[in-house]
Structure 1
Amino acid sequence: MGFLNPLLLVGLAAAAIPIVVHLFNFRRPQRVDFSTLRFVRQIEATAMRRMRIRQWLLLALRTLAVLFLVLAFARPTRTADAGVFEEGTARSLVLVLDNSRSMTLRDAQGALIDQARGLGVAVIEATGAGDERTLLPVARPVEARIVPYTTAGPVLDAIESTPALAGAEALTAAIARAGSVLEGAQHLRREIVIVSDLQAATFSDSASATLPEGIDLTLLPLGARAQVNTAVTDVRVVSRIVEPGRPVQIEATVVRYGGRPGTVGAALLLDGQRVAETAVDVVPGEPVRVPFTVTPPARGWLGGEVRIEADAAAWDDARFFALRVPPPPRVLLVRGDGQRADLVALALGVAAESGGVALNEIAEGALPGADLDQYDAVVLVGPASVGDPGRLAAFVGAGGGVLAFPGDDVDALNPMLAALGAGRIDGAVGESGGDVLGTTTDLDLDHPLFAGVFDAARPTPEAVDLRKVARYRSGGADETTLIATQTGAPLLQEVRRGEGSVLLFGVAPDLGWSDLPQRGLFVPLLYRAAAYLAAGSAVADTGELTAREGGTIRVEGVGPGTALRLVGPDGVTLTPLQRTVPGAVVLDVGDAVARAGLYRVVQGDRTLRVVAVNEDARESDPAALAPAEAVRRLEAATGRPVRLVEGAAGLASDGERAGTPLWTYFLALALACLIAETLVTTRRRPEVAP
């Protein structure tokens, strides 16, 4: 129980007046002459007992009357269960307003965001003149100020102008932030009122939202029907090797939430041009993977999107992606002393003449002095020594690639394999120029290295005859056999480390070891291996960001001088924080990137890369929690009881608070005590002798 006029409680001291009067009776006894005291003594005992009872009763009634009068003037109010809808002492209130993307949907009462604004206005109008009011949207606009106001006007204006935005935090996280705001509140009575559609996907997160004692929670749910939404939730580049003029596989994910099965149209746009389209059969709740094939026309960064037919939630009908068609891989060919590297040089030279690779050839002795940062892939042909094996391992871990052929000393590659945490080569089986030991058997045709190499008429290459094979034993690294042989040793093994890979051949590029150099697979396999190793993680690293969450973007090929700029789809230019790292510049993009779309990183007139910004796919699922379940989760997350109020019924207007004040009851009790005291005083019975 609280008091609107607590200072008047000092009047409780007046309750001591009847007690003082009773204990110190200030009436002086009067002398009365009697002829005899015989009859007085007979009634003395009975009369005194009755008098004492009447005096104690009068004392109690007079004391209680004073107490009840003082309490009534202090205006007591019931605050144990007080919420925003009940009268009480001055409060500090935070209105948590759900303005996430799901609030753009509609029901019979109209758009959910409009309903939320209406409830928010009703809540603020129900507050009193001395209250603090703070608006806290779950998707905070950049210009929003989370500060308390002592008047309702600024808060009402902010509610009316609050849009539905991307990047909403979980509702429980917003409540925790509201608790932090109330830590500095000026009133002891503190309340959080939540207006939300209770979207299940973004309702809570793993962070704690425990609130301190003394904060009341009230939940106002809205939304009267189950919503239906179809969304593009993901787009990824499937192909590991991306080249101009060659098909690239792209896969989108489309999900229908609620409703009935149906068919929607989907299209892929590349640099604004529609290049592929298909029909998608969707079933509620089941993600559908939609494949597309596109052919990039040139090298560089391309921007694309997958778009479906428009529905009520237009913001998730498209998802953007960036595709990098890398420049020709920079390949360093290292010739082992006394080893045949001419066939490898010839095969890579053909690719270099067509612009497929940029080739540089050195002798084995020049490897320690080579600047590996200037290359994407290193090809080792039978070296007697790899120099510093840790240097090559670091090159691979940072995204580079190594293609290695054994030489006469097959064990010479073991130091590099050990540095990679891979297996080792235990000698070789067979002899160069000797009898055929066996042939190749299985190929991992699902590996990106072989994508597009074989046509439908000849899905697998001819078997390779083997005369000498290095006996490689796999270790504990992340590795895969890509081409197996009848000898048990792999013809081609991949070892992955960090962002890069090593492709290890089991034979030298020498006809004495095998007839691989004579096969039609040899030249395309070397070219594809160089492109695959050079790609590293570049294709997967599309630099995708989530709207309003920010992140970092790595940009290579930056020239000196001019700062980098980020140009959005609407032409707005941002200059994010940037720092230089080896080989690149990293942009720190904050939550100012609020609009989904394709952004360009530019320096001067050059576009250095494209960045896709998409909205959080979790917000596409409009399924809502039942109000009772939402209350249970909120109570578990916050540790506080939650009051559930359906709609705006019971909200007062014009600044008047609803509820029953308690001072009227105390006034009635005081009057009752005074009436009883009067009756006891006036209805005194005369004493008679027995």
Structure 2
Amino acid sequence: MTFLNPAVLIGLLAASIPVIIHLLNLRKLKKIEFSTLAFLKELQKNKIRKIKIKQWLLLALRVLIILFIVMAFARPALRGLSIAGTTSAAKTSAVFILDNSFSMSVLGQNGSYINQAKDIIRKILEQLKEGDEAAVILSSENNQNVNLTSDFNQLINQLNQSELSYIKGDLHKSLTLAAELVNKSKNFNREIYILSDFQKNIFPKDEIKTDLSQLLNENVKIYSFPLSEKKVFNLAIDDLRSANQIFEIDKPVTFNISIGNYSEQNVQNGVISVFVNQKRAAQKSFDVEAGKSVLIDVDAVPDKAGFIDISAEIESDDIEQDNKRFVSLFIPEKISCLIISDDNSSSKFLKLALQTIGQQKLKIDERNSNQIGGTQLKNYEIVFLCSDNLNLPDKFLQYLNEGGSLVIIPPVNVDINKMNNQLKALNLPNVNGFAGKQNDKSLSGQFDKIDFNHPVFLNLFKKEDKKNIESPQINYFLKLSTQGKGSSIITLTDGSAFLSEYKSGKGKIFLFNTAHDLSWSNFPLKTIYAPLLVKSLFYLVQKENQQDNLIAGNPLNFELNRINSTQIRMVKPDSSAEIINVDLGNQKIFDYKNTNLAGFYKIYSNNLLIDNIAVNYDKSESNPVYADENDFNKYLELLNFNGRLITINKDSNPSDAINQARFGSELWRIFLLIAILLAILEMNIARNVRKEIEGISKTN
């Protein structure tokens, strides 16, 4: 027998009170002999003997009454024994951990794993009694406001409204929260129920340093319900990426797609489709062996500018949620370009080359170096600097840090000292001098090495065998090397970098070592000139999406300097919208954490779409490799779990299994009933004793 409220047992000391009172009332009577009453002596002795026996019986009854009342309040309970109608269940605090990750969507004989888990929780909740309390933790949610409650209808409503999540379940975090909840409870039965398919990925990969021995002590029982029941056939799109770095309307984009086969059977002639803005744009078949993955390339053609939704999809299988993956592209509708030049000869060929793009796609503004102070660089996707009089270098560094792009072309009459000061201010390598002479073709350099794998050369040639660029004759150029700060795209025969690329913040820099003027070379007259400039522009204005691989559950962020409103509207993949207030004065970046769905999150400011971020699932959730009880035991050992683990088979009756494992019934009602019966008996005996004593007194 166990007492659920043992502190009350100190009240057992009160049982000594009747004994003390009895001892204090004992006193010797003075004997007075009456000759006329001698014949009553024998009768009185018999009566007094009976009275003394009854007084001792009363003393015992009073002590027992106190003992049973105190023990009733101490809540005695028996393990594994139930006396129908006379006992009450020990009060219970139950915390349910429900795995709502999308692997729980697998259909078993009795429905999906997630629905089976919900049914089990409902049945257990229905058996809880007054004074019990419970809580439900969803393993794929943050669960910040979860507390124990006796409102079981509220918990059932929560269960009914809960849905599968694309966020990977966190068993360790959920179990820690459950341990904290039951540790706060005053109820004796402290129980944690874990309902999951128990994929191996549910256990932490990193070393566990959490000691839960104080929370998960010997009074805590963990009930595990492994719900997996069959071998799952599942294919998943593990990755979707664009192979291109330049996106143009009506130009093909190649997508690299990785497909994993997480089943025990080979797949032949599977079909994958690529959708552009929800329209099927391409389709391709694939084969993949059991337990392996395959990488395929699919081409699709964007047909308009702006933000573009790209999704890849395969056919149905046991787990539907990982059959689609998403990526977002952006093609500027009209590019804003700024040319900074202090003389027309330094930029005239550049402007002619850029004008081939057309006024509908490109807007060109021109400024001299003295006008930079009043120019908002953030209004331009790209800046061409054809001057060595760089003013306000910090302004350019900020522009680059925020994602702007810069092309540096030496002016015709370059000053090498000014040029080096300019390059130093931008953290670029210095010029080591000049080679050749202006307007002197007797000494000329030529192209030597060309990086044809660079994006600016992608699709520049109609056929691969035409990658043979006619080199210009370069009679005057700056001797420049990347010095490990960047990469050379085109190198001259003397090793100088004709065209090199550098990273600065979130932006990119192209650096030419030759002025685009015929006094330096005939480069502006070559057929490669205009295509190379145009391709360079499209490459540089294409922003790198730092959140291409954002996984559901991780926060997405966007820079507030791109908006001018204190409110933004977030439209989620299910088309639901959320209005968010932002502080433009004190916030630079806003983190949005409610990314529980896979798909596109569209951010609007004043009804203008300012960003489109693709969120995908954790591919580890696609692998139906399940843990066994030994794996779970090892995990609990790492936590220093001191309680008891009970694994309940899904085919078992959970109520019976729980009742067998749980501490038995409380006996306080029996103890209180016994105390009442003893009190009634004590009153009857005490009344009888008083009458007998009164009779003896009258006789005397």
TM-score of the superposed pair, with normalisation by structure 2: 0.76
Relative distance call for 1:656 and 1:306 in structure 2 (3 A) is closer
Q: Is the 8 A contact 2:482 2:497 kept in 1?
A: no
Matched residue, 2:212: 211
Matched residue, 1:305: 311
Relative distance call for 1:214 and 1:458 in structure 2 (3 A) is closer
Relative distance call for 1:368 and 1:434 in structure 2 (3 A) is farther
Matched residue, 1:361: 366
Q: 2:388 pairs with 367, 378, 384, which one?
A: 384
* CA distances 1:563-605 after superposition (whole Å, capped 9, x unpaired): 54344555543323345479x99765452x6544445445676
CA distance in 2, matches of 1:221, 1:262: 32
Q: Is the 8 A contact 1:429 1:471 kept in 2?
A: yes
* CA distances 1:122-144 after superposition (whole Å, capped 9, x unpaired): 544665553322222223499x9
| SS across alignment from 1:480 | strand
Q: 1:440 pairs with 422, 444, 447, which one?
A: 447
User: What is the deviation of 1:392?
Assistant: 1.9
Q: Is the 8 A contact 1:2 1:89 kept in 2?
A: no
Q: Is the 8 A contact 1:172 1:637 kept in 2?
A: no
Mapping of residues 123-522 of structure 1, within 5 Å:
123-124=124-125, 129-140=130-141, 146-150=146-150, 154-155=154-155, 158-159=158-159, 162-182=162-182, 184-187=184-187, 190-204=190-204, 210-211=211-212, 213-215=214-216, 216-222=220-226, 223-263=228-268, 264-337=270-343, 339-353=345-359, 355-381=360-386, 383-407=387-411, 408-432=414-438, 433-454=440-461, 455-475=463-483, 477=485, 479-522=486-529
Relative distance call for 1:75 and 1:332 in structure 2 (3 A) is closer
User: Is there any run of 5+ residues in structure 2 with no aligned partner, and where?
Assistant: 29-59, 80-87, 672-700
User: What is the deviation of 1:183?
Assistant: 5.2
User: What is the deviation of 1:371?
Assistant: 2.5
User: What is the deviation of 1:170?
Assistant: 0.6
**Is the counterpart of residue 645 in structure 1 residue 653 in structure 2?**
no
Letter in 1 for 2:353: A
Matched residue, 1:532: 539
User: What is the deviation of 1:331?
Assistant: 1.5
Relative distance call for 1:585 and 1:268 in structure 2 (3 A) is farther
Mapping of residues 14-93 of structure 1, within 5 Å:
89-93=90-94
CA distance in 2, matches of 1:659, 1:430: 95
Matched residue, 2:32: none
| SS across alignment from 1:164 | coil
Relative distance call for 1:468 and 1:101 in structure 2 (3 A) is same
| SS across alignment from 2:94 | strand
Matched residue, 1:625: 627
Q: Is the 8 A contact 2:89 2:666 kept in 1?
A: no
Relative distance call for 1:577 and 1:509 in structure 2 (3 A) is same
User: What is the deviation of 1:275?
Assistant: 0.8
Relative distance call for 1:278 and 1:656 in structure 2 (3 A) is closer
Letter in 2 for 1:261: N
* CA distances 1:459-514 after superposition (whole Å, capped 9, x unpaired): 2312333322311133453x111111210111111111111111111212123333
User: What is the deviation of 1:519?
Assistant: 1.6
CA distance in 2, matches of 1:571, 1:278: 29
Relative distance call for 1:341 and 1:164 in structure 2 (3 A) is closer
CA distance in 1, matches of 2:111, 2:531: 61
Q: Is the 8 A contact 2:172 2:203 kept in 1?
A: yes
Relative distance call for 1:282 and 1:156 in structure 2 (3 A) is same
| SS across alignment from 2:541 | helix
CA distance in 2, matches of 1:635, 1:392: 57
Relative distance call for 1:160 and 1:297 in structure 2 (3 A) is closer
User: What is the deviation of 1:91?
Assistant: 3.5
Q: Is the 8 A contact 1:461 1:521 kept in 2?
A: yes
User: What is the deviation of 1:271?
Assistant: 1.8
Matched residue, 2:577: 573
User: What is the deviation of 1:450?
Assistant: 1.5
Relative distance call for 1:249 and 1:550 in structure 2 (3 A) is same
Relative distance call for 1:5 and 1:397 in structure 2 (3 A) is closer
User: What is the deviation of 1:305?
Assistant: 1.4
Q: Is the 8 A contact 1:307 1:319 kept in 2?
A: yes
Relative distance call for 1:140 and 1:495 in structure 2 (3 A) is closer
Range 296-305 or range 357-366, more displaced: 357-366
Relative distance call for 1:352 and 1:360 in structure 2 (3 A) is farther
Q: Is the 8 A contact 1:329 1:357 kept in 2?
A: yes
CA distance in 2, matches of 1:343, 1:92: 80
Q: Is the 8 A contact 2:604 2:611 kept in 1?
A: yes
Relative distance call for 1:279 and 1:436 in structure 2 (3 A) is farther
CA distance in 1, matches of 2:187, 2:5: 15
Q: Is the 8 A contact 2:239 2:257 kept in 1?
A: yes
User: What is the deviation of 1:458?
Assistant: 0.2
User: Is there any run of 5+ residues in structure 1 with no aligned partner, and where?
Assistant: 28-61, 80-86, 668-690
* CA distances 1:135-168 after superposition (whole Å, capped 9, x unpaired): 22223499x9734233655545654664433335
User: What is the deviation of 1:415?
Assistant: 2.6
Q: Is the 8 A contact 1:93 1:193 kept in 2?
A: yes
CA distance in 2, matches of 1:590, 1:190: 33
Identity %: 22
Q: Is the 8 A contact 1:580 1:586 kept in 2?
A: no
Relative distance call for 1:514 and 1:221 in structure 2 (3 A) is farther
User: What is the deviation of 1:214?
Assistant: 4.5
Mapping of residues 603-618 of structure 1, within 5 Å:
607-618=609-620
User: What is the deviation of 1:653?
Assistant: 5.4
Letter in 1 for 2:624: P
Relative distance call for 1:286 and 1:483 in structure 2 (3 A) is farther
| SS across alignment from 2:371 | helix
| SS across alignment from 2:297 | strand
Report how many aligned residue pairs link the two structures. 616
| SS across alignment from 1:472 | coil
TM-score of the superposed pair, with normalisation by structure 1: 0.77
| SS across alignment from 2:199 | coil
Q: Is the 8 A contact 2:233 2:317 kept in 1?
A: no
Letter in 1 for 2:556: G
User: What is the deviation of 1:388?
Assistant: 2.5
CA distance in 2, matches of 1:497, 1:309: 43
Letter in 1 for 2:137: L
Q: Is the 8 A contact 2:99 2:169 kept in 1?
A: no
Q: Is the 8 A contact 2:183 2:215 kept in 1?
A: no
Q: Is the 8 A contact 1:556 1:608 kept in 2?
A: no
* CA distances 1:603-650 after superposition (whole Å, capped 9, x unpaired): 676555544344443322232222211221233246555614132658
Matched residue, 1:686: none
